[in-house]
Amino acid sequence: MNQEARPVHSNQTGPHEDTLSVARRHWGSEFLKPIQAHNQAAFDAVNEPVQSWQGPIILDSCCGVGESTAKLAEQYPDALVVGVDKSSHRLDKHDFYEGSSRGQRYYLVRADLLDFWRLVAAAEWPVELHTILYPNPWPKQAHLSRRWHGSPVWPAVVQIGGQLQMRSNWSTYLLEVAQALSLNQVDASVGYLAMDPEQAMTPFERKYLASGQALWRLTADLTAAVTAVENVDR
């Protein structure tokens, strides 16, 4: 039986007041966490086919069970799609969501994005589209640093470039992302996402729609993002 998805509850009434200062601080210091061996090995295994691929590259981060990865491969048959999630429990469920009738071309990778994103940025993958669908919102005010845009890995996301698309059932999360991207002179767009349940890209999206929750989407062009951000609080 499917449980009804709960809406996000937060003690924040709007974007966190420290979003810009935290993001700016991470741009001013290098993220020195060592790359774990299993994440390096996972990256190396998929890096070779990516580097030899002559078409578009799509990165589907936080892909969960990989349903979104398979659907992106259907939508973009000329692309190579790489889905990444750190949970083997979720990825092991992928067979149920796989649609193999259209010859999708994609890889599913188990890796921690704290490492994987830095490796992708360093290898300069030619990513045309980067999707981050329904990341954990970490809605408590004290948990800003656990959100992707509050993490020291955030500069790597911007450096990966391409067209960024994020979705969430908590608009505040995406408004904070837009604020963080303003440091890079990127004008991100955040708006209401209307869709038919049959168009859902992930199990979470399907549950949110079934429970009547509003969904939100951020789009941003990172191809010309400025990555020289001054480490000054303003």
Out of 35-39, 74-78, 141-145, least confident range = 74-78
CA distance 138 to 24: 20
CA distance 177 to 23: 10
Give alpha helix (H) positions in 61-112: 67-75, 88-91
Question: Which of 46, 166, 163 is CA-nearest to residue 106?
Answer: 46
4 or 105, greater pLDDT: 105
Mean pLDDT of the chain, nearest integer: 92
CA distance 133 to 93: 18
Residue with tokens 């979003």: 19
User: What does the block give as tokens for 160?
Assistant: 């990966």
Q: How large is the average pLDDT for residues 70-93?
A: 91
CA angle (14 as vertex; 9, 19 as ends), nearest 5:
110
For residue 149, pLDDT over 90 is answered with yes
Model confidence band, residue 4 (pLDDT cutoffs 50, 70, 90): low
Burial 136-154 (b: 16+ CB within 10 A, else e): ebbeeeeebeebbbbbbbb
CA angle (10 as vertex; 216, 133 as ends), nearest 5:
30
Number of H helices, E strands in the chain: 8, 7
Residue type, 70: A
pLDDT digits (tens, 9 = 90+) for 10-39: 999 899 999 999 999 999 999 999 999 999
Q: How large is the average pLDDT for residues 186-214?
A: 95
Q: E strands, the chain, where?
A: 57-61, 80-85, 106-110, 127-133, 163-168, 189-192, 216-221
CATH topology of domain 19-221: Rossmann fold (3.40.50)
Report whether 132 contacts 205 (CB < 8 A).
no
Report whether 218 contacts 190 (CB < 8 A).
yes
Q: What is the pLDDT of residue 88?
A: 84
**Alpha carbon 104 to its chain's center:** 21
For residue 118, pLDDT over 80 is answered with yes
